[in-house]
Amino acid sequence: MFESLSQRLEQVFQQLRRRGKLSEQDVDAAMREVRLALLEADVHFSVVKDFISRVRERAVGAEVSKALNPAQQVIKIVHEELIKTLGEPARLNLSGPKPRVIMMVGLQGSGKTTAAAKLASLLRSQGERVELVAADPYRPAAIKQLQTLGERIGVPVYTESGVKPPELVSRAFEKAQKSGVSVLIVDTAGRSQLDNALMDELKAITRRVTPNEILLVVDAMIGQEALHVAEGFRDTVTLTGLMLTKMDGDARGGAAISIRAVTGVPLKFLGTGEAIDAIEVYDPGRLASRILG
């Protein structure tokens, strides 16, 4: 997915590698290319600006180390600053009394239902007793989809027809409490766009049960639109984390770089394919290396 960005940076760095010593003009020329590469990768303008100024400041004033040539030093700085932009790795908060509730929110088609099943499978492999809740009574197909996924991974799916989501989640919680479930993953309804009814419903659910985590699932392929979606949800519910899906597609990657910096919500997981095990715990170092190649 980051091919064009890493190739572009690679070219810049190739040019830098050929020079013995870096002048301020060299750094500026390199930064121009890095800036273009990031903008072309659909990274948010304000993030690019901040990133470039941090790298430039460090690169121009950097002491020349014996181990690295000046170009390697710039690459090292770019790598380090990219990791900073990508944010700290953030773990799931699974503390407190059982069942802990993880609410999955997001727009329709973002990969939310798939993400709920992926997470269920991952947590179960870590020894948790997991149950899924299909809290989307408006779309029978969505319930069926979660049930099919649940069967495939051997995780029970709670649902009830004709019950509104807040009540449904509350009942699922009580049942899970009695039966010793340790993690309840709630697949909430998606909509094709942000609307008040969806937001009111999400708020109503959080008044009935207090989630440990509210994870927003966002499709990385929608580029900078992902930032608007994240801001919309963040303004309604207390998002505790993000899962960016379809990172295996040919998205330009900008969303992954910008979303943390712009929204302040930490990335926790990446979806890297349609298969149930195509989920990665977010690791900024790994992502930065992938971006830079």
42 is an annotated ligand-binding site residue: no
Q: How many residues bind ligand GDP (CB under 6 A)?
A: 19
Q: Which of 4, 108, 170, 206 binds ligand GDP (CB under 6 A)?
A: 108
Q: How far apart are CA 144 and CA 147, in angstroms?
A: 5
253 is an annotated ligand-binding site residue: no
Backbone angles phi, psi at 184, to 5 degrees: -110, 120
Are the CB atoms for 216 and 239 separated by under 8 Å? yes
Q: Which of 87, 99, 111, 211 binds ligand GDP (CB under 6 A)?
A: 111
Q: Candidates 11-19, 110-118, 153-161, 198-206 — which segment interacts with ligand GDP by CB under 6 A?
A: 110-118
248 is an annotated ligand-binding site residue: yes
Dihedral sign from CA coordinates of 274, 277, 281, 283: negative
Peptide bond into 284 cis (omega under 30): no
Q: Is 112 in the site for ligand GDP (CB under 6 A)?
A: yes
- With 0-12 CB in 10 A as exposed, 13-18 as middle and 19+ as buried, what is 224? middle
110 is an annotated ligand-binding site residue: yes
Q: Which of 195, 250, 274, 277 binds ligand GDP (CB under 6 A)?
A: 274
Q: Which of 10, 167, 231, 248 binds ligand GDP (CB under 6 A)?
A: 248
To ligand GDP, the closest distance from the beta carbon of 63 in angstroms equals: 43
Q: Which of 74, 272, 282, 284 binds ligand GDP (CB under 6 A)?
A: 272
To ligand GDP, the closest distance from the beta carbon of 185 in angstroms equals: 13
Are the CB atoms for 183 and 102 separated by under 8 Å? yes
Other residues' Cβ atoms within 10 Å of the Cβ of residue 151: 11
Helix-then-strand count for the chain, H and E = 11, 8
221 is an annotated ligand-binding site residue: no
Annotated binding-site positions for GTP: 106-113, 187-191, 245-248
